[in-house]
Amino acid sequence: MRVDEAVPLGRTGLRVTRLGLGLASLGGLFAPVSDRDAALTVDRAWDVGVRLFDTAPVYGYGRSERRAGAALAGRPAGQYTLCTKVGRVIVPGGTDTQPFWADPPPGVGPRRDYSYAGVMRSVEDSLERLGLDRIDVLHVHDPDEDFPAAVSDAYRALAELRARGAVGAVSIGVNHAPVAARYLREVAAPGPDCVMLAGRYNLLDRSGLDELLPLCAARGVAVMVAGVYQSGLLADPRPGAPHGYSTVPGDLAGRVAAWHALCRDHGVPPTAAAVQFPFGHAAVTSVVVGARTPDEVEDTARMLAHPVPPAFWAAARAAGLLPPGVPVPAS
């Protein structure tokens, strides 16, 4: 699969590349990243054909958005798709902090706010940090944090922005598939154009297939999949590796080991299988993967293009790692 292959984003007029770059790491997720390295990482993504970029106000408390805007400045806006999020505003003394942002800007922090006014303020602030006058895709970030407001006030604001052309597409960004399915069922018509689903449709967790992905396919809602490496377990499962788990549950560790063994037997890098697997479902338009260095971007691009033969997926089914009804990518 080609990194730069552009496909329609569901029912919107936007087009997105198959591979997107998630910019949380460039906001200092777990470890600091310099301005220079952030710019070089975005530049390398551009060079290999990535034209989909995803950020958020809470990523480094505004730092990711500022770096995204600086790195993309001067590039024609119509040649890339930029996503950001609402649900938290960055304010002096904001107390809804998260411990995993390294060296965040002093004196500011996030404040949870899914109100109509809060969303409008968040968008204005994001546009200032990004240096843009329009946002391509706007996600309601973690709507389960305040579901009643997220499904009503926040969506009303986004729908208005979409109607007047200030936003190209309305979306939700979620870590839990049932939350997204509930949102799509309860929100006012016409609803979101797309969904970003993190960590719930990959080789180890396919809960997105239970309800959400069929619902999206039926409604023409595009799905961007993130978290395909399951917090890094499919890239490097060793104890002490930066996979986000202090202790890996035994059942999960066993399945990780089984996938790694199957990949060794078939000469398929685990990250190649992981980044390609979501494309087996017709609702999935893109996979969004984070990176903090140019080399990580290049490696992901290689993995997307690495051959994964049908025999590999057949062996995964035979080993019980994939149930019979789970779709796999075409060869």
Half-sphere exposure of 60 (CA within 13 A, CB side): 27
pLDDT-derived band at 237, boundaries 50, 70, 90: low
> What are the tokens at 39?
């710019």
pLDDT at 97: 94
Report the C-alpha gap between 7 and 274 in whole angstroms. 20
pLDDT-derived band at 77, boundaries 50, 70, 90: confident
pLDDT at 235: 83
pLDDT at 244: 55
Residue 242 pLDDT exceeds 80: no
How confident is the model over 152-163, as a mean pLDDT?
Answer: 98
| Vertex 288: Cα angle to 285 and 293 (nearest 5) | 150
Report the C-alpha gap between 113 and 151 in whole angstroms. 13
pLDDT at 239: 58
Region for 165 from its dihedrals, namely left if φ exceeds 0, alpha if ψ lies in -120 to 50, beta otherwise: left
pLDDT at 240: 53
Report the C-alpha gap between 54 and 34 in whole angstroms. 18
pLDDT at 230: 86
From the candidates 61, 85, 136, 201, which is the catalytic residue? 85
Report the C-alpha gap between 54 and 28 in whole angstroms. 15
State the pTM of this model: 0.96
Count CB-CB contacts under 10 A for residue 154. 27
Least confident of 43-47, 150-154, 226-230: 226-230
**What residue type is assigned to position 258 of the chain?**
A
Residue 15 pLDDT exceeds 70: yes
> What are the tokens at 62?
């505004």
How high does pLDDT run on average in the chain?
A: 94
pLDDT at 276: 98
Report the C-alpha gap between 149 and 171 in whole angstroms. 15
How confident is the model over 122-139, as a mean pLDDT?
Answer: 97
How confident is the model over 259-266, as a mean pLDDT?
Answer: 96
Residue 95 pLDDT exceeds 80: yes
How confident is the model over 254-276, as a mean pLDDT?
Answer: 95
Cα→Cα distances 53→218, 309, 325, Å: 26, 29, 31
Report the C-alpha gap between 114 and 150 in whole angstroms. 5
Beta bridge partners of 141: 173
pLDDT-derived band at 41, boundaries 50, 70, 90: very high
How confident is the model over 19-33, as a mean pLDDT?
Answer: 96
- For the chain, percent of residues with pLDDT exceeding 90: 89
How confident is the model over 160-182, as a mean pLDDT?
Answer: 97
From the candidates 4, 35, 47, 59, which is the catalytic residue? 59
Helix (H, G, I), strand (E, B) or coil at 146: helix
How confident is the model over 230-244, as a mean pLDDT?
Answer: 66
Is 54 an annotated catalytic residue? Answer: yes
For 14-62, the DSSP string reads -EEESEEEE-SGGGTBSS---HHHHHHHHHHHHHHT--EEE--TTTTTT
From the candidates 43, 47, 54, 61, which is the catalytic residue? 54
